């Protein structure tokens, strides 16, 4: 045993929902105690009950709870935690928070604050990507001088995408198709960026019209080992938010695939990366050997969609985060990472697809989950779970794996038909609709396909939308039976 290995005995999980549950379970397998944090809205939820200990943060608003740096660090100290896992979202990519955690001699499960800071700003990340030999979309920082801004925009060419330098998850982004739309798009993007990130610095890039969104999962340890775990296709999106992810990416030319893998590893080595990360690309003409790709951003954390990679490669990425944070070498080499099968992840949100995916609140009245070979669900909900307006509307991640993409889709149709969720609108019916679309099945899609194709159809009927148990022939609700057990 290496005497230089850090001791990780207790982790504070600085997050909530399904990712908190995921981290707690991974920690338990490694013999690491877990401490959950919760608010009024999250009291009694699955993560709180699974953890070895739970600490109350305060009122439900994120500013006073999950985004309260002082309170989270206080909770870590109070609980005796020697490490902290941020999950995704909230403080996961906040360098100042990572530094504050380290000052208390608590191990931050993630890359160093320096690397987080380097990759957090889209402008600096572009420079580093270029230095590592990764192609970037033509663009530049937005000048403060309006006349110069318009001139530079014209030199890049329309359509043009405006992006918040500190942005993510589609916030602080606006598309300007013409010079006439430019100023209003910039005003709107800056306003949203300032509200979301406290920073209204902007980047402008040539808008790539019909790309696929392909990302590479990377992992690095402190001993200099860097590997990739293949790619994921995240092209099914609405408002720059992913709805379905899959691994590996189908209809991707081998030459292009290899270039994506190699450049992702090169970028990790360039910045001295540690832990789990994701390099995101926009890819054009993906099935052709001369297809092109462009660096989009790097996420310095575990991704929402990491389960599809785990299923295809047979690894536990969250457990691996703990191992490399402890100072161990990677438990797998590049030659050992051979993908097997095809995996699809369907994000189930409490959103109404027929109302432009408007987030919804409410209480889960009833849930009946599918099972069987090739089926996995990462979730935090159960009957009685209340959805708060304060937090993200993600309910669950349903992961279906098959021998081939066609097998996985066929299995997913059966699995989604079996899934029952009552109490609020959700994207369950949308996913059933998606699997009936020839464009999706044939992979003739790009990142704007969904917004062009889906017009908020009413998703009802057998095999298309949610089937209420109350409408199922000859079904009786045991909860209403005098003879049922309670």
Q: Catalytic residue numbers?
A: 301
How far is C-alpha 196 from the chain's CA centre? 18
Q: Which residue has the tokens 């699995």?
A: 415
C-alpha angle 272/277/279, rounded to 5°? 95
How far is C-alpha 252 from the chain's CA centre? 22
Query: Helix, strand, or coil here: 462?
Result: coil
DSSP designation for 326: H
Rounded Cα distance, 163 and 205, in Å: 8
C-alpha angle 243/249/252, rounded to 5°? 135
CB-based contacts of 483: which residues, under 8 Å, 6+ apart?
none
How far is C-alpha 452 from the chain's CA centre? 23
Sign of the C-alpha dihedral computed for residues 242, 192, 99 and 123 taken in this order = positive
β-partners of residue 13 are 36, 85
Query: Helix, strand, or coil here: 37?
Result: strand
Rounded Cα distance, 481 and 349, in Å: 31
- Residue 400 Rama label (left phi>0; alpha psi -120 to 50; beta): beta
Q: Which helix (H) or strand (E) holds 379?
A: strand 375-379
The string over 358-382, giving b where at least 16 C-beta atoms fall within 10 Å of a residue's C-beta and e elsewhere, is ebbeeebebbebbeeebbbbbbbbe
CB-based contacts of 389: which residues, under 8 Å, 6+ apart?
359, 361
Rounded Cα distance, 53 and 78, in Å: 11
* Gyration radius from the chain CA atoms: 23
User: Euclidean distance between the first and final Cα of the chain, in Å?
Assistant: 51
Per DSSP, helices labelled H in 30-165 are 46-50, 69-79, 95-103, 113-120, 122-131, 146-156
Four-point Cα dihedral 309, 315, 318, 323, nearest 10: -140
């Amino acid at each position: 045993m290496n005497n230089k290995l850090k001791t990780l005995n207790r982790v504070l999980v600085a997050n909530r929902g399904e990712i908190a549950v995921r981290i707690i379970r991974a920690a338990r397998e490694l013999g690491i105690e877990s401490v959950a944090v919760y608010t009024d809205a999250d009291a009694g939820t699955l993560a709180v009950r699974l953890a070895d200990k739970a600490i109350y943060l305060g009122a439900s608003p994120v500013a006073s709870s999950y985004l309260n740096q002082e309170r989270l660090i206080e909770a870590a100290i109070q609980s005796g935690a020697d490490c902290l896992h941020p999950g995704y979202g909230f403080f996961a990519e906040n360098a100042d928070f990572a530094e504050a955690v380290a000052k208390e001699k608590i191990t931050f499960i993630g890359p160093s604050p320096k690397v987080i800071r380097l990759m957090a700003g889209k402008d600096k990340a572009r420079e580093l990507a270029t230095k590592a030999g990764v192609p970037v979309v033509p663009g530049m920082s937005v000048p403060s001088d309006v006349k110069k801004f318009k001139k530079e925009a014209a030199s890049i060419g329309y359509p043009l995408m405006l992006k918040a330098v500190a942005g993510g998850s589609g916030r602080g982004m606006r598309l300007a198709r013409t010079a006439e739309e430019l100023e209003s798009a910039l005003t709107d993007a800056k306003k949203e960026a300032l509200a979301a990130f406290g920073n209204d610095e902007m980047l402008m890039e040539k808008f790539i019209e019909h790309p696929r969104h392909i990302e590479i999962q990377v992992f690095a340890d402190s001993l200099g080992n860097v590997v990739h775990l293949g790619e994921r296709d995240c092209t099914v999106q609405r408002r720059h938010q992913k709805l379905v992810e899959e691994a590996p990416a189908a209809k991707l030319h081998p030459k292009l695939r290899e270039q994506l893998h190699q450049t992702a590893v090169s970028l990790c080595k360039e910045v001295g990366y540690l832990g789990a990360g994701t390099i995101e690309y926009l890819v054009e003409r993906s099935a052709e050997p001369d297809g092109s790709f462009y660096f989009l951003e790097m996420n310095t954390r575990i991704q929402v969609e990491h389960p599809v990679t785990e299923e295809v490669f047979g690894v536990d990425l969250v457990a691996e985060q703990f191992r490399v944070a402890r100072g161990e070498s990677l438990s797998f080499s590049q030659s050992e990472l051979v993908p097997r099968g095809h995996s699809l992840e369907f994000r189930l949100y409490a959103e109404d697809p027929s109302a432009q995916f408007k987030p919804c609140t409410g209480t889960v009245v009833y849930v009946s989950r599918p099972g069987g070979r090739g089926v996995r669900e990462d979730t935090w909900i159960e009957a009685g779970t209340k959805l708060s307006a304060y937090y993200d509307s993600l309910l669950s991640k349903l992961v279906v794996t098959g021998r081939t993409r066609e097998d996985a889709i066929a299995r997913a149709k059966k699995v989604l038909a079996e899934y029952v969720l009552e109490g609020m609108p959700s994207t369950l019916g949308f996913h059933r609709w998606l699997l009936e679309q020839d464009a999706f099945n044939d992979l003739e899609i790009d990142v704007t396909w969904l917004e062009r194709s889906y017009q908020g159809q009413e998703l009802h009927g057998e095999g298309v939308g949610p089937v209420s148990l109350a409408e199922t022939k000859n079904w009786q609700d045991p909860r209403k039976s005098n003879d049922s057990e309670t």
